Structure 1
């Protein structure tokens, strides 16, 4: 192998001449400055800083120089390449910033604009209806309580004073889970939530319990094997029917508007004593019993001026005792009504099945609230 040519005159190596190196550097800097996009700058980088660029080729020629000439040539080429790399980095930063700013302007999507490609849906009215009921009682200082859908027979019946021979326990009303000896049912009411609360807490207790319940009913315009109830329970010292009446009057006015009140009709429920059916002032005729114009009977209340709403009463002392509460010291009231029925009152729906058939037109019509 031959050694370096010591007689080689570096001045005659064209790529290493000072004017050639400066010309290559200036051409590179000019091209960098003229690049207006990242793609153009990438091509400039290849042309003026790549392996086949003039400065890269000049750098390769340094090895062929005699030792005494390499230092000066190396400094000259290195300074030129450093200036080019700095200019590339600075221009890269500027073009990236411009690119991002342009994307923010050109590709911005206004997510608040309506679209006709996919119609807007809405939350199910049963969901929003249950939340409305809960909000009314939370505003009064009550708590929302929940319980399992599959419930023990004792909590669903015995703890609520429904004896072993009560007809509600038959398969005509109750959906039992297999095997029967486990004594487990799909809850027929949300009252077991009240029992669970009384078993785990001491008075004062003020809870409202909305949720799904199940009964072996036919599926038609007014019945469903799965529907929704809301029950309220207040346990404290000195609770009376007057407190119950005031609570339900406030509940009714919040759900159906000012001027709507309730009335009690004597009734019987095993878990309350005394017990009453709750009627609601007709929210269509406002209790007059007459249709608009006054010539015909109101179709909603059939001329009665009242609409049946639910049941209520003073909690039976046996229920308090079964749940570990001193019935001599504490008393309470309980009430319950169907959320589905209440929703039908508020919206004018005539067929209960409309709520359960999954038609998106229903939620679209109601939007996000009822």
Structure 2
């Protein structure tokens, strides 16, 4: 892995939060069945049973299915209780087929003055013997977008734009997106700190996340997009704690109701919900509320906005956290131990979906400089 030195920007999060001791895990059932019926408005949960919609829709209504009918019918044959109905058939084939490929760009994690590729999380490697966790994470990772909450990995960048340094989608305010990953650091309740959670995003979808965000920000194909990082993870922050003598960001009080999401001020805790049991995305706020930080290794579903730093020689994506859902405990030694049964072949088809072009080396111009034979030795 090659390090690339870059200029530190004033808005880079840095070491703004104090470390916290890991809290004991609460005893919550890990039932992943959901057993829920579709909502009257047609918004079905990705964890529901036979009525799952596996086809994304990024139009204004987000209700029309874009995959052929037979693909949808095939997806409905999936079982709801562990495992997969047909290990040979990819239940997400319809989604992958209708996605418009986005030119691949390079991702780098911006932490202090060193940049490395964004560390990602290999779900299959760490949960190879836990089919229940793999299944529900994949269902969430391919959940369809709604007007108030879009799946960033499945979004169409041509339908998004930038307004006031935030990505918007047809409306004047910042669009809420979601990403899934494994926690490396979390301080969402600290009394005198900017709230922050850092995670490693899912490896099979992050290439498209980078490509989508980079395309909206105008990053050229093959170019580089930086992501704010801390503690070796991708950083999601509340509004920053102001410098001494400056006014804090004013945010009107807003109840968490699953319909609208806001970025919290630095001195307010970020809403965290325990969604390890079945839940609907539109009703996550009905799940038990957490009052302790997710632990390192836990899988989380982060609702956020996406902004950027402009007027710089490179683009930096800045993610502001709105809500955090804990969807699974960190992997056990048994989860990631010796494989007990064969995994579906289509798992390999999911990696790097929805992008065009070959994988880019993690280098920058400074690393590609030719050696100077006349350089003096000191």
TM-score range (shorter-chain normalised) is under 0.3
- Structure number with the bigger relative contact order (C-alpha 8 A, sep ≥ 6) is 2
More helix per residue: 1
Structure of larger gyration radius: 1
